[in-house]
Structure 1
Amino acid sequence: MIQRIQSIYLFLAALFMGGLFFQSADIISIETTAPSTLGDMVYLNDKVLDIYDQNILIAFTVVVVVFSLLALFLFRNRKLQITLSRVAMLVVLFFLIFSVYLSYADLAPYISSVKITPHIGVFLPIVVIICLILAVKGIRKDDLLVKGMDRLR
């Protein structure tokens, strides 16, 4: 049923993860206190980490948005909805881990001379995971309701 609460959670998950495509949704930015340049950085050369710095981050974002929207419209197949939501959660976790790895890989030599500032792009994937967890709970609850009604027939 598309009017259920899990539909709202799945839509919010797709919306928040899709929000990373906006230029103002940076993951982190850095400020350097050292007079030297940070020219040998690969991903943080512009002093901002966003999803456009690495194609895999874009791919992770697209996969989560597509899986969330697919799960939203596959409301008749609750098992597949749960599976897609769980896979989307794993992809968001990989997104977060890979973002931390990219940041650390670039900042390791300069860790004492830079100030890292987290932006909304750090918190959006966490909100997406929460939305997906709530969606899975709602789908399970809906499934138990349908099974209970089938038992009564």
Structure 2
Amino acid sequence: MIGIPVTGLLWSLAVVWLNTEQLATAGVLPTQAFMVVALGGLTQTIALWAGFSAVLWAMVRAFGAHLPFTELFTLICSASLPLWVGAPALAYCLYSGKSLVSVAGLISMLSLCAFLYTAARLLAPRLSWSILRSVGAVSSAAIFLFSFTFLNN
């Protein structure tokens, strides 16, 4: 159950590291900044974890299976290892002014794909599904969330 919280901490660490100049100019110690940013980073990643798990839970039901939410919540956390690389890479893109069409952007996109595929690989045997069906459910959840995000911006 530590995969997603670690992702949030790594995101927060990258954000603080990328803003050390501004923090020094403002007279804020990096440790103080990390505590504040980590609180926000952890809250954000846990909210994303819960949201993705809820949408995936609905997609699993739409694809004809039943899985307790707590099991799915744990499964998503277990799939999060690729995000340990992707979250800091995305923070680098966002806070350094680099485009998502960069090495860091590519790393963040590949880690997201690896996370989604890992989630599908973990979901398939738990539900006795083929990998294709599992990828369909996970992809549907991801597409729904991406669409929701972009339509609201």
- Tell which structure's C-alpha radius of gyration is larger: 1
Indicate the TM-score class for this superposition, using the shorter chain for normalisation: 0.3 to 0.5
Q: TM-score, normalised by structure 2?
A: 0.42
Structure with greater strand share of residues:
1
Question: Higher relative CO (CA 8 A, sep ≥ 6), structure 1 or 2?
Answer: 1
